[in-house]
């Protein structure tokens, strides 16, 4: 199999979700909507395939015959062909219509491929998840050096700093990226940790202190009770706990239901 053939596939209405939507969560996918009778498609198609081979797996080229697969063509709003649509992270992000020359196709591909900072941040996250925080921190810093506005590198570095108590530095990193969920989670970590030392007095204060020390269920139970005294503040505290724990923690869906039932 040639390099080009490895990175070019035919897709249909039936496997579009798997190949394009799910596939684009691993690497960008460029969809070429074409038809056999179209002269411009015969011009653009070989250019796209050539570029796919030259990029050697940086993206997948998925070719969709609109005559045989009208469902996806209609869903993508293709009113003329060739139409090209790029997908990243399961979503269409950009595209073009018509037979672009090779230089423009390469420029288009450049616009949808991960930047140097994004690649560095992705590697740093893998190291962070593996527990190598020292190397992850350095790589996140390298990502920010390559692009000071890179969201993933900023939030990743902030996560590490927040976990070791460098709250001001972590806050400064995520503030430009709010309300991104990752940035919100870092802010929640900082707020929840501050509950350990805040003055006690009210039922909600006691509940927040419990949560601040990692007694999550006891803290959430107390916050539920505190809804009767200070509805908005208790709800905000529970949302902070949810953000810190993450949706993968079984407490979160359980107490989300309880909170919803109590409020509505």
pLDDT digits (tens, 9 = 90+) for 94-124: 999 999 999 999 999 999 999 999 999 999 9
Cα-only R_g, the chain: 24
30/244 Cα distance (integer angstroms): 36
Strand order in the sheet with 8-11: 8-11, 60-65, 29-34, 83-88, 91-97
Do 157 and 71 belong to one domain?
Answer: no
- Say if residue 12 is in the same domain as residue 108: yes
Contact present, 122 and 89 (Cβ < 8 Å): no
> Mind listing the pLDDT tens digit for each residue in 164-184?
999 999 999 999 999 999 999
18 secondary structure, DSSP code: I
Q: Take residue 93 and report the two structure tokens written for it.
A: 């992000």
Give 19-69 pLDDT, tens digit per residue: 999 999 999 999 999 999 999 999 999 999 999 999 999 999 999 999 999
pLDDT recorded at residue 40 = 97
For 262, what's the count of Cα atoms within 13 Å in the CB-facing half-sphere? 20
Domain termination site, one of 88, 112, 136: 112
Tell me: do 32 and 106 sit in the same domain.
yes
CA separation for the pair 31, 64 (Å, rounded): 7
What is residue 3's predicted lDDT score, i.e. its pLDDT?
A: 43
pLDDT of 86 > 50? The answer is: yes
Domain hosting 85: range is 3-112
For residues 148 and 66, state if they share a domain.
no
One domain for residues 67 and 129: no
Query: Same domain for 174 and 235?
Result: no
Residues 237 and 184 in one domain: no
Domain with residue 135: its CATH number is 1.25.40.10
State the pairing for strand pair 60-65/8-11.
Answer: parallel
% of the chain exceeding 70 in pLDDT: 98
Q: How many distinct structural domains can be found in the chain?
A: 3
Model confidence at 199, pLDDT cuts 50, 70, 90, reads confident
Assess whether 147 and 85 both reside in one domain. no
For range 75-88, the mean pLDDT: 94
pTM of the model: 0.72
- Look at residue 206 in the predicted model and tell me its pLDDT: 95
Do 216 and 121 fall into the same domain? no
Q: Specify the long-range contacts of residues 218-222, CB closer than 8 Å, at least 24 apart.
A: 220/251, 220/255
Q: pLDDT value at position 5?
A: 63
242: pLDDT confidence band, cut at 50, 70 and 90? Answer: very high
Q: What is the pLDDT of residues 133-176, one digit of tens each?
A: 999 999 999 999 999 999 999 999 999 999 999 999 999 999 99
Strand pairing of 91-97 and 60-65?
unpaired
DSSP H or E segment with residue 84? strand 83-88
Boundary of a domain, candidates 112, 129, 164: 112
Averaged over 72-88, what is the pLDDT? 94
* Residue that finishes a domain, picked among 61, 90, 112: 112
Q: Are residues 31 and 103 in the same domain?
A: yes
pLDDT reading at 4 higher than 80: no
Q: Do 206 and 242 share a domain, yes or no?
A: yes
Question: Which tokens go with 74?
Answer: 């209609």
What CATH number is given to the structural domain containing 76? 3.40.30.10
Same domain flag for 209 and 172: no
């Amino acid at each position: 199999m040639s390099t080009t053939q490895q990175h070019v596939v035919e897709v249909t209405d039936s496997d579009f979700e798997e190949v394009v939507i799910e596939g684009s969560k691993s690497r960008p996918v460029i969809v070429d909507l074409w038809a056999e009778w179209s002269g411009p498609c015969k011009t653009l198609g070989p250019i796209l395939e050539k570029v796919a081979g030259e990029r050697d797996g940086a993206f997948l080229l998925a070719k969709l015959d609109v005559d045989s697969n009208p469902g996806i063509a209609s869903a993508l709003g293709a009113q003329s062909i060739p139409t090209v649509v790029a997908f990243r992270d399961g979503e269409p992000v950009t595209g073009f219509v018509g037979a672009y020359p090779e230089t423009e196709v390469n420029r288009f591909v450049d616009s949808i491929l991960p930047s140097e900072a994004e690649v560095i941040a992705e590697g740093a996250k893998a190291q962070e998840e593996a527990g190598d925080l020292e190397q992850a921190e350095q790589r996140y810093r390298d990502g920010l050096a390559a692009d000071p506005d890179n969201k993933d590198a900023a939030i990743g570095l902030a996560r590490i700093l927040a976990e070791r108590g460098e709250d001001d530095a972590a806050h400064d990193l995520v503030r430009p990226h709010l309300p991104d969920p990752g940035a919100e989670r870092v802010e929640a970590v900082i707020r929840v940790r501050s509950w350990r030392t805040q003055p006690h007095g009210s039922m909600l204060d006691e509940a927040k202190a419990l949560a601040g020390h990692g007694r999550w269920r006891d803290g959430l139970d107390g916050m539920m009770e505190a809804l009767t005294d200070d509805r908005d503040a208790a709800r905000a505290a529970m949302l902070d706990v949810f953000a810190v724990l993450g949706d993968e923690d079984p407490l979160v869906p359980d107490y989300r239901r309880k909170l919803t039932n109590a409020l509505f």
